[in-house]
Amino acid sequence: MNRIAQFLQTRQPLVALAAIIVLVLAGNGQLAITDPVESNYALTAKEMLSAGDFISPRIYGNYWYDKPIFFYWELLAAFSAFGINEFAARFFPAVFSVLNVLETYYFAKKIYDKRTALLSALIFGTTTAFFYLSKAVITDMTFVFFFNAVLIAFFLAYRSGRRSLYIAAFFFSGLTVLTKGPIGFLLPGFILLVFLCVRRRAKELLHMQWLPGMAVFLAVGGSWYYVMYRLHGMDFIDTFFGVHNFLRARVAEHARDDVWYYYILIFLLGFAPWSFVVLYQVKKRWQELKARVKARSFSEAAVFLFVWALLVNLFFQCMATKYVTYTQPAFLPMAILAGRFLLQKASFVKKLAAASYAVYFVLLFAAAIPLCEQQSGRLTAAALRNLNVEHHLVVNYGDYNNDRIHYRTSTVFYYGENIPELIGKKELEDVQPGGMSWNAKNVMPFLAYEDLPGDTVVYIICETPRLTFLRGRLPDSALETVYEGNGTTIVKAIVPARQMEQ
């Protein structure tokens, strides 16, 4: 036992890394693909693979200009290697989660020391946001890694005078743009500009290898955009840049979230448990911190990390559309600042990290796997296959009169066939994609109630609480419940030949 304890003590970074790898891979084959976001990515990659198209994202047979290509390439590679399944879909988010921890350790070691690096990596890898994103089939872990790499390359070039490293910053910025869009160039550029102004070193901008750097950036980050424009013209430009970038910044997709304290809550909950530890220590050491601020005794690295973290939060707070994952690029600088701040409490940090790790493992199997099943159409798709409905029309019931649609793209992903969304003919025009509006996201197939085939068996997927409303929509139809589970009911319906009027 003494030998084991001694090994663990002398190999702490390797032990911590191994533990993180186990956590991010554990249960990935059991976590169902959920709605509404994961299923969009998974189904898009599945359709691209089926079509043999590795350039143009597509979903429900339509071209889909929601996100750039890089994350879809990850899914395509994983589906090709492991098959189209949950483990494959979650493989690269797990890989980039580990890379983000290594990136945190590397940068903290470069600007401080090994002890700070270990604590920073432990803090970063045991936040609640990290646990969530390491399992989520979304772009964020990839985006965060490339985004952080831009600023790390910049600072190392700036501090060391090795200006060839600036080209690495342009390279990673290209990959960031290829993962998330223009924000991958604009926001890192804004951060480094503000930092240089704060340090009164704005002239450094003249030495940032702009000509070769921009050539690299455009080759890496711009080539796919150019090809997409050549293939799809202004439809791609208007939808991708207009709706999914400009509109997202100007008009809140979810108005209830557009509040001034949104990202304060995200910090408290997403950076937990460390947000509360740091705030307690700040309160306890307030006078010491005030004295250091007055004396301007903070290192240049600390100033850079603080500017980085602050501007990411302020920038996204100014955006109308807000999501829980948007400020994740601030977590690396916050983790390093926290690791440095808690350096004298290294033992406590390691114990709390270990406890958090254990809690996440319990939550994974006790909560995450069941909750993902509830937020997925996997069981519904299995029920459809068991009912042998392949020769019948299958539709999904939504209720637009209540300004509400709950369409499970994951059901389509697992079932393997498109499922139209039922809607009244009068409402059909209102939800069609087009123009500068959020209707651009309504790319699922639609079918009017009036166009349901008469005297023919139709299977309708309906949320169980909405079953009464469905019966009201089809008052003269014969409805028989053939499946009920996971909050979803499948109804076997025969609509009279005379179409009802809506």
Q: What is the pLDDT of residues 266-305, one digit of tens each?
A: 999 999 999 999 999 999 888 888 888 787 778 999 999 9
Asked whether the beta carbons of 327 and 316 are under 8 A apart, the reply is yes
Determine the pLDDT at residue 214.
97
Determine the pLDDT at residue 9.
61
In degrees, rounded to 5, the angle at the alpha carbon of residue 143 between the alpha carbons of residues 140 and 146 is 150
Determine the pLDDT at residue 242.
77
Q: What is the pLDDT of residues 343-352, one digit of tens each?
A: 999 999 999 9
Determine the pLDDT at residue 433.
72
Determine the pLDDT at residue 21.
97
Element (H, E) at 423: strand 421-423
| Residue 462 backbone phi and psi in degrees, to 5 | -145, 135
HSE-up of residue 314 (Cα within 13 Å, Cβ side): 9
Cis (ω within 30 of 0) for the bond into 68? no
HSE-up of residue 299 (Cα within 13 Å, Cβ side): 9
Q: What is the pLDDT of residues 157-177, one digit of tens each?
A: 999 989 899 999 999 999 999
Higher local confidence (pLDDT), 502 or 118: 118
Tokens of 448: 């009017």
Asked whether the beta carbons of 320 and 305 are under 8 A apart, the reply is no
Determine the pLDDT at residue 486.
85
pLDDT confidence of 402, banded at 50, 70, 90?
very low
Q: Find, among 178, 152, 165, 168, the residue nearest to 329 by Cα.
A: 152
HSE-up of residue 69 (Cα within 13 Å, Cβ side): 20
Average confidence (pLDDT) over 351-372: 96
Average confidence (pLDDT) over 129-151: 97
Residue 308 pLDDT greater than 90, yes or no: yes
Q: Find, among 332, 328, 338, 335, the residue nearest to 141 by Cα.
A: 328
Instruction: Report the distance separating Cα 342 and Cα 370, nearest Å.
Output: 36
Q: What is the pLDDT of residues 446-480, one digit of tens each?
A: 998 888 898 899 999 998 988 888 888 888 889 99
Tokens of 373: 């099943």
Average confidence (pLDDT) over 425-431: 78
Average confidence (pLDDT) over 225-238: 92
Instruction: Report the distance separating Cα 142 and Cα 97, nearest Å.
Output: 8
Residue 404 pLDDT greater than 70, yes or no: no
Determine the pLDDT at residue 107.
98
Determine the pLDDT at residue 502.
43
Higher local confidence (pLDDT), 260 or 69: 69
Determine the pLDDT at residue 296.
77
Angle formed by the axes of helices 12-25 and 128-135, nearest 10°? 50
Tokens of 95: 């890989």
pTM over 0.85: yes
344-372 exposure pattern, b = at least 16 Cβ within 10 A, e = fewer? eeeeebeebbeebbeebbeebeeebeeeb
Residue count of the chain: 502
Determine the pLDDT at residue 230.
95
Determine the pLDDT at residue 432.
72
HSE-up of residue 487 (Cα within 13 Å, Cβ side): 10
Asked whether the beta carbons of 317 and 263 are under 8 A apart, the reply is yes
Determine the pLDDT at residue 3.
63
Based on DSSP, count helices (H) and strands (E) in the chain, helices before strands.
26, 8
Instruction: Report the distance separating Cα 24 and Cα 132, nearest Å.
Output: 10
Asked whether the beta carbons of 447 and 424 are under 8 A apart, the reply is no
Q: For a pLDDT cut of 90, what percent of the chain falls above it? A: 70
